[in-house]
């Protein structure tokens, strides 16, 4: 019960943070983490009731704990590992194509390794080595848990449809190989058109420059596609200088401000990208002080694991407070009980 109360407090902190700032990634991760922990707590409470009150409850608990749960865990690991093969087949060989396999193998090693570590006493292996291993494994598992929270919040943030009137629809560019938009970019445009049909006075901002290996700018290809979908040219604003998501947001903001300059009320803006990219897009919008809400276009299922892992790594690098919090939390959970404040400097210097 105490664990459930702590989980609910974490959820409450997340909700309060989101109430202050609706685009707070930290608040969202707190909310999703609290929800996962609460559901986990309720699951174990249910397991306890099954064990205590149902006929053959001990047998049922044994099957769930040592049969069903490990099987689910192995299936999840297997999905990530074999998804990498699908990525190589469909997208070609690349470093990012291996991310899902590395993540699946990491899960397969880290969790059993933690349980195995607890079977060894500090008399079996040197005490400092035992605590160092515990520290590393805790960092790994906490980061995996936060990844699950990131996925959950990413999904939750896109489940609430937008009801307000929309004035501008920013389409974030992605790579093009010809004047025709590829499937990934087409899905972003189609998502924008979906909202345009409900807001026929809205204007599109097609945002994306021309890379060294691109025959035309991404904005050019997007405008051509929108025109083919009967979107009037005067409702398409053109931004073809950006090369990053940050520049997408910054340059689009400038174009919108120029176009909206004679209005008193601030415009209502959304940006369309693929579902895995919405949260990071929101971070950059917040960074340039652009009040825009992201909407996510569907992404091929085989592509999602790698894309989500890549976005999560980028989020950790962008929001270093999350990474430092994990490092600090793992330290105080593992090394701190062993190393006194007067000894910690000497021990770490000696070890490293």
For residue 271, the tally of other CB atoms under 10 A from its CB is: 28
Question: What Cα–Cα distance (Å) separates residue 253 from each residue in 54, 167, 210?
Answer: 61, 13, 19
Burial bucket for residue 150 (CB in 10 Å: 0-12, 13-18, 19+): buried
- What pLDDT band is residue 348 in, cutting at 50, 70 and 90? very low
Mean pLDDT, the chain, as a whole number?
Answer: 87
Least confident of 63-77, 119-133, 180-194, 255-269: 119-133
> pLDDT confidence of 91, banded at 50, 70, 90?
confident
Give one DSSP letter per residue of 229-284, joined into a string.
TT--GGGEEEE----SHHHHHHHHHHHHHHHTTT-SSPPPEEEEEEGGGHHHHHHH
DSSP string, 193-224: HHHHTT-TT-EEEEE----TT-SS-HHHHHHH
Query: In the numeric block, which tokens belong to residue 23?
Result: 């685009």
298: alpha, beta or left? (left if phi > 0; alpha if psi -120 to 50): beta
- Please determine, for residue 206, whether its predicted confidence score (pLDDT) is greater than 90: yes
The whole-angstrom separation of Cα 15 and Cα 299 is 28
pLDDT for 340: 53
Q: Is the pLDDT of residue 298 over 90?
A: no
For residues 197 and 189, the answer to whether their CB atoms sit within 8 Å is: no
Indicate the pTM of the whole model: 0.81
Contact 273, 188 (CB under 8 A): yes
3-class DSSP state of 152? helix
pLDDT digits (tens, 9 = 90+) for 300-316: 888 889 999 998 998 88
How high is the pLDDT of residue 121?
A: 65
Q: How many CA atoms lie less than 13 Å away from 89 in the CB half-sphere?
A: 6
């Amino acid at each position: 019960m105490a664990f459930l109360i702590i989980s609910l407090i974490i959820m409450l902190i997340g909700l309060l943070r989101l109430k202050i700032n609706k685009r707070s990634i930290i608040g969202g991760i707190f909310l999703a983490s609290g929800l996962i922990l609460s559901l986990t707590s309720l699951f174990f409470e249910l397991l306890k009731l099954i064990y205590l009150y149902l006929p053959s409850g001990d047998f049922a608990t044994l099957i769930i704990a040592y049969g069903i749960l490990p099987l689910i865990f192995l299936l999840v690991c297997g999905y990530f590992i074999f998804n990498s093969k699908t990525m190589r087949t469909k997208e070609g060989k690349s470093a990012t194509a291996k991310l899902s396999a590395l993540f699946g193998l990491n899960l397969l090693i880290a969790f059993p390794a933690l349980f195995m570590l607890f079977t060894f006493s500090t008399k079996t292996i040197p005490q400092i080595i035992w605590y160092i291993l515990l520290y590393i494994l805790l960092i790994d598992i906490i980061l995996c848990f936060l990844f699950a929270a990131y996925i959950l919040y990413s999904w939750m943030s896109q489940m609430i449809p937008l009801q307000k009137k929309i004035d501008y629809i920013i389409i974030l560019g992605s790579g093009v190989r010809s004047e025709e938009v590829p499937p990934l970019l087409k899905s972003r445009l189609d998502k924008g058109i979906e909202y345009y049909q409900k807001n026929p006075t809205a204007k599109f901002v097609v945002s994306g420059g021309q890379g060294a290996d691109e025959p035309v700018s991404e904005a050019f290809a997007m405008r051509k596609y929108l025109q083919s979908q009967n979107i009037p040219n005067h409702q398409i604003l053109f931004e073809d200088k950006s090369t990053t998501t940050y520049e997408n947001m910054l340059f689009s903001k400038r174009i919108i401000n120029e176009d909206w300059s004679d209005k008193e009320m601030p415009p209502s803006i959304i940006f369309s990208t693929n579902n895995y990219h919405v949260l990071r897009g929101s971070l950059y919008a917040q960074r340039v002080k652009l009040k825009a809400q992201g909407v996510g276009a569907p992404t091929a299922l085989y592509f999602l694991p790698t894309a989500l892992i890549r976005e999560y790594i980028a989020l950790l690098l962008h929001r270093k407070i999350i990474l430092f919090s994990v490092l600090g939390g793992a330290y105080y959970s593992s090394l701190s009980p062993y190393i006194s404040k007067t000894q910690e400097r000497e021990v770490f210097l000696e070890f490293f």
